[in-house]
């Protein structure tokens, strides 16, 4: 994927987190903020905080939806609670409109507690120049 397109997707995801009241702690492709740390063995695009709630942002491509390990990645990230076991993490998944149905079907195969921790953000279609 072209890094510029990936950067724009991360920007839209960060904008959505800001609209929800979250403060960005780290993000990929940021000028002033550090890149987020690896969570387990997985790379994430953003980490944000609202009061005591932590959010993880992840942009999802069509290729990632076709991977066999994608469901285990979602399950791990949505249930991640290393530092503060009482605080649940909200996982924001940024996806293009044409992949929305496929992602919804994959999430519906997870258990209900995990589904409650996942929020889907529809990203606008970005045209390459």
DSSP 44-95: -SEEEEETTEEEEEEEE-HHHHT-TTHHHHHHHHHT--SS-TTSPEEEEEEE
The pLDDT value given to residue 34: 84
- pTM here is 0.87
> Residue 89 in contact with residue 81, Cβ under 8 Å?
yes
| Percent of the chain that is helix, strand, coil (3-state, to 5) | 35, 25, 35
The pLDDT value given to residue 85: 66
Tell me the pLDDT of the chain (129 aa) as tens digits.
457 788 888 999 999 999 999 999 988 888 888 888 888 888 899 999 998 888 999 999 888 888 888 998 888 888 887 666 667 789 999 999 888 899 999 899 988 988 888 999 998 876 654
The pLDDT value given to residue 89: 86
Separation of alpha carbons 29 and 7, rounded Å: 6
The pLDDT value given to residue 120: 92
Separation of alpha carbons 90 and 118, rounded Å: 6
Which domains, ranges and CATH numbers included, belong to the chain?
Answer: 3-123 (3.40.1350)
The pLDDT value given to residue 127: 64
> Residue 80 in contact with residue 39, Cβ under 8 Å?
yes
Separation of alpha carbons 109 and 107, rounded Å: 5
């Amino acid at each position: 994927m072209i890094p510029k397109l990936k950067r724009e997707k991360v920007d839209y995801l960060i904008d959505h987190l800001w609209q929800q009241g979250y403060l960005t702690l780290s993000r990929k492709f940021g000028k002033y903020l550090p890149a987020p740390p690896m969570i387990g063995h997985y790379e994430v695009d953003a980490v944000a905080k609202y009061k005591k709630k932590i959010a993880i942002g992840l942009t999802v491509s069509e290729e990632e939806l076709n991977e066999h390990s994608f469901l285990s990645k979602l399950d791990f990230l949505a249930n991640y609670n290393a530092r503060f076991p009482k605080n649940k993490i909200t996982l924001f998944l940024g996806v293009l409109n044409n992949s929305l149905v496929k992602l919804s079907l994959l999430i519906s195969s997870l258990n209900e507690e995990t589904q409650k921790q996942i929020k889907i953000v529809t990203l606008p279609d970005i045209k390459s120049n």
